[in-house]
Structure 1
Amino acid sequence: MDESAELIFRFEEHRTRLRAVAYRMLGSLSEADDAVQETWLRFNRTDTSDVENLAGWLTTVAGRVCLNMLRSRESRREEPLELRMPDPVISHEGGIDPEQEALLADSVGLALLVVLDSLSPAERLAFVLHDMFAVPFDAIAPLIERTPATTRQLASRARRRVQGQAPVPDPDLTRQRVAVDAFFAAARDGDFDALVSVLDPDVVLRSDGGVGHSLSVVLHSARTVASQAVTFGKLSPFARPALINGTAGAAVVDTHGMRISVMAFSVVDGKIVAIDVLSDPDRLRALDLSALDR
């Protein structure tokens, strides 16, 4: 094997992990691919012959690339960012393909990615690299120009935010689906009380309809979310069951093939605690829904 081929081989062994890092850092599939490509370019022009832990080295390089991308995002913002749903990973309800499974390890639901997007770039990097990929604080600290102790504090603060706002869903997909099916059935029938009964009292609904769109809202409480669901109940028959980032959800597509929304549900103890909705027409058109046709 020549030197060039060997470099490619060594990098490809770690590509899946690096893409998973970048997706958690950026919440965008296309930007994650860009970050992996930039990591490859840096690897290709660096002598790593004396690197003992290549996986760790590449992970920190990818982390630095993503950190720069996040900071660039912030510098381009002239106004506070409205709610923007991360890119959903859509799978057939029958199962997730191996590539998606690697991308979604550690229950990376949309609710978690929404919370990660609310963190500062340094907090996000510290939490993702340490808590999700076991990178030691000593290796993370130089990336954000902080001490290991301060980096530990950043990760701890981020962890508290995640635990408070993105509870871990029930691991039983069947139990998740029961709650989601009950939600759509009640919405279709206009049964307000049935909707309230399947929702956690403190449920939050986050909807991204696009910049400046009236559907870009955040709603709180079971009664408020139930009222919204009744209003849009006529769309319930068009809900096609799907796995959204590995949890029970739906793609709402009408009889003419118009994509109306993608909905991800977080179900804990049989109750829906969060609903994350992408209804931005431009982003919906770009989604790959072919997995639902299997």
Structure 2
Amino acid sequence: MSITHTDEFERHRPRLFGLAYRMLGSAAEAEDAVQDAYLRYSGADPAVIERPAAWLAKVVTNLCLNRLTSARARRETYVGTWLPEPVITADGTLGPLESAERRDAVSTAMLVLLERLTPTERAVYVLREAFAYGHREIAETLDLTEANCRQLYRRAAARLGEPRTRFPSAPERHAELVASFLSAARDGDLAGLEKLLAEDVVWWSDGGGRVSAALRPIEGRDKVLRFLSGVTRRFPANAELAAVEINGAPALVARAGDTVVAVTSFDIRDDRVTDVRTVMNPDKLEFVRRQLTRP
């Protein structure tokens, strides 16, 4: 394979990773899908690939569709709550997130919502919303009719709900509240945390059976506060909390030395935290650890 052919693929790699991650909700699986696409590209005749970007997008999308089918079967037997794998986005790993819409598209909350969709609905929605594909381009990518793609997109959008009801907090206020949560958590200030939590707050934990974690959502401010009181007592003595942009929004990363212990993201409405999602499964924290230790 010529250097030119390799360089052409590398030029598209970040975009392909962003596509695969949005499709799969897993950085590790997205990397594998992109690498599989590279192998297919390296074995193809460059002369027959008229539009490399479109060719690669089609290959990656179909690889992800195949992976989603098996992933759904695995998630049915997943221990406890399944949450998407977190990714630090301040370094541009998922591409430019210069608008609220682009940030919402990679948020933890959105990736959880995308699990409601069938694999094909998800592909249509991601290509349309995150990559601004027209319905004709989507049809070519998925080998469907344009009318079918329009129908799939409408169905996916209806299942996901209106954006204004999904992500109502302003980015600046979101950052302020996460900073307040960080300060209160560092100080063990349960009274301060209580002021930040909505009365009907829900806390989701993903340990994947690998570490101790709540197997079911914890619902209600009082129960969440009791849970937090227990968590702070069990946390490693050398653990450090820091605010980091995860999936387009301020979040908290807990580290003990070079080990990432947890990544916590927040949904905020009316100046109160309504949902908290904490990933503690060490398999899902490896990508973030690599990002944090990258020179």
Write the mapping of 1:1-294 to structure 2, written as runs, cut at 5 A: 4-47=2-45, 49=47, 53-74=51-72, 79=77, 82-90=80-88, 96-98=90-92, 100=93, 102=95, 106-107=102-103, 108-141=106-139, 146-163=144-161, 167-168=166-167, 170=169, 172-173=171-172, 175-186=173-184, 188-191=188-191, 194-211=192-209, 214-234=213-233, 238-253=240-255, 259-281=260-282, 283-284=284-285, 287-288=288-289, 291=292
For structure 1, the residue ranges without an aligned partner over 5 or more in a row are none
Per the normalisation by structure 2, the TM-score is: 0.77
Contact 1:208-1:217 within 8 A present in 2 as well: no
- Residue 66 of structure 1 and its aligned partner are, at CA, apart by 0.8
CA distance in 2, matches of 1:286, 1:177: 23
Q: Report how many aligned residue pairs link the two structures.
A: 283
CA distance in 1, matches of 2:241, 2:80: 26
Deviates more, 1:104-113 or 1:61-70: 104-113
For structure 2, the residue ranges without an aligned partner over 5 or more in a row are none
Contact 2:58-2:142 within 8 A present in 1 as well: no
- Residue 137 of structure 1 and its aligned partner are, at CA, apart by 2.7
Give the aligned residue type for 1:102: G
- Residue 68 of structure 1 and its aligned partner are, at CA, apart by 1.1
Deviations for 1:196-225, whole angstroms, at most 9, x for unmatched residues? Answer: 442345543221012385523323444543
Identity fraction in percent? 32
1:201–1:132 distance in 2 versus 1, CA, 3 Å: farther
Deviates more, 1:236-245 or 1:111-120: 236-245
- Residue 189 of structure 1 and its aligned partner are, at CA, apart by 2.1
Q: RMSD in angstroms over aligned alpha carbons?
A: 3.6
Equivalent position SS for 2:128? helix
Equivalent position SS for 1:216? coil
- Residue 127 of structure 1 and its aligned partner are, at CA, apart by 0.9
Contact 1:60-1:140 within 8 A present in 2 as well: no
Contact 1:23-1:32 within 8 A present in 2 as well: yes
Per the normalisation by structure 1, the TM-score is: 0.77
CA distance in 1, matches of 2:260, 2:75: 29
CA distance in 2, matches of 1:209, 1:25: 22
Give the aligned residue type for 1:219: I
- Residue 186 of structure 1 and its aligned partner are, at CA, apart by 4.7
- Residue 78 of structure 1 and its aligned partner are, at CA, apart by 6.8
